[in-house]
Amino acid sequence: MTAEHPVCLLVDGHTSHIDLDTSKFCQENGILLYCLPPHSSHITQPLDVGFFSALKGAWKKAVINYNCKHPGATVNKTTFSPVFREAYLQIVKPQTIMNAFKHSGIYPPNRHAIDERKLYPSQVYQQKETEPYQPIAVKKLALIALEEELDKETVKKYERHLEEGYDCEVDQLYSTWKKLKDQCSRVPLGDLTNKGVPSHNDIFQVPSATSEKHVKSIRGTACLPKHISGDEVIKILEEQKAKKEMEERQKEERQQQKEERKKRKELEEQEKAMKKEERLKQKEERRKKKEIEDREKAERKKRREEERKKKQKKGKRQKKSQVSNESEDECKCPACDVVYTEDCETSETWIECNNCNQWYHLECTNFDDKDAAADNDFICKLCA
């Protein structure tokens, strides 16, 4: 295989058979690589045309012969190869291969070897496009032009009026807009029958060869030139490879950016959680500190109140003692009318009322001893 004596290799149009490395290899080694037309292997591929059907018939006969020779046995993985070998050797003959290439029109080259009637099913749905309904199109253009002249707020107001079902009688512009809107949104029943119906010839079109050039920007391999090892295909495949590599790089960059954003978000969430925990900790410390301060403040207040009461009680006792010393000569027990000076010789115990400052015999009160009366702040019956 050289450039002076190239070899023609036919393959189907599967994407696994077409890549840049294969095209360059075929170009460097003098191989003319061609693709069969898509969806045409049943009429252009020699194996489908003249080999597989014959092989299926031979395989059925080989299985029947095997079952006759081995009653009750079936063809399995162990016996498949011998049975298939018998069928394969019956079909693989030079004449069978030559007939397959002949009936597919490959060799000798013959475009009339293919029955064109087999192409008709692919043309059934290739109908001509019917022309759009012209009156509606003109009115729609008029509506678009009118809405372009109006501002957006006016158009929204008109649409709201139309939906709610009330009209602006004095607004002639709204009436025109509404009329165009109604005509564009529905088609009269009589106009529906005027639309063109495709004819029998439009449905069943006779295929004809086209001279249009293949577009390079179409994805896939269906519209690639059939000469796969040519310079044009290599250029297209190189562009596709470069585009694919660029897309992969962009995808990797986007993935990397996504991972970075994810990590950054996780760090931000961790920092936020740490700050929140720190704020809660500080708040708890402030609360405890405030509780301690409030407790100390209450204790100080309690101590001051106790000291104040003690001072008041002490001052009151001193005052009472002073008053009692000054008037002890005139003091007498209101309960028994005995004067204190007259009762000194009997050594009776006297106590003073905390309210009226009158002195009483301890025996004339409800207390048993002087200490109990002093601790309970004695109040006489008159004051009580």
57-115: pLDDT as tens digits: 999 999 999 999 999 999 999 999 999 999 999 999 999 989 999 998 888 888 888 88
Of 186, 221, 256, the residue at which a domain comes to its end is 186
pLDDT recorded at residue 219: 45
Is residue 340 one of the residues assigned to a domain?
yes
Is residue 348 one of the residues assigned to a domain?
yes
Is residue 371 one of the residues assigned to a domain?
yes
pLDDT recorded at residue 170: 59
**CATH number for the domain harbouring residue 334:** 3.30.40
Is residue 171 one of the residues assigned to a domain?
yes
pLDDT recorded at residue 20: 83
- How big is the chain, counted in residues? 384
**Which residue type, as a one-letter code, is found at position 274?**
M
Is residue 73 one of the residues assigned to a domain?
no
Is residue 107 one of the residues assigned to a domain?
no
Q: Which domain holds residue 346?
A: 320-375
In angstroms, the CA 190 to CA 187 distance is 8
pLDDT recorded at residue 345: 60
Lowest mean pLDDT among 9-23, 59-73, 288-302: 9-23
Query: Average pLDDT of 218-222?
Result: 47
Cis check: omega of the bond before 198, within 30 degrees of 0: no
The pLDDT of residue 41 is above 90:
no
Task: Name the β-bridge partners of 332.
Answer: 339
If one counts the domains in the chain, the total is 2
pLDDT recorded at residue 366: 72
Is residue 15 one of the residues assigned to a domain?
no
pLDDT recorded at residue 189: 47
Name the band, by pLDDT with cuts 50, 70 and 90, for residue 321.
low
Taking only the tens place, the pLDDT of each residue in 334-350 is: 778 777 666 666 667 77
* Of the candidates 206, 161, 204, 211, the residue with the CA atom closest to the CA atom of residue 181: 161
Is residue 60 one of the residues assigned to a domain?
no
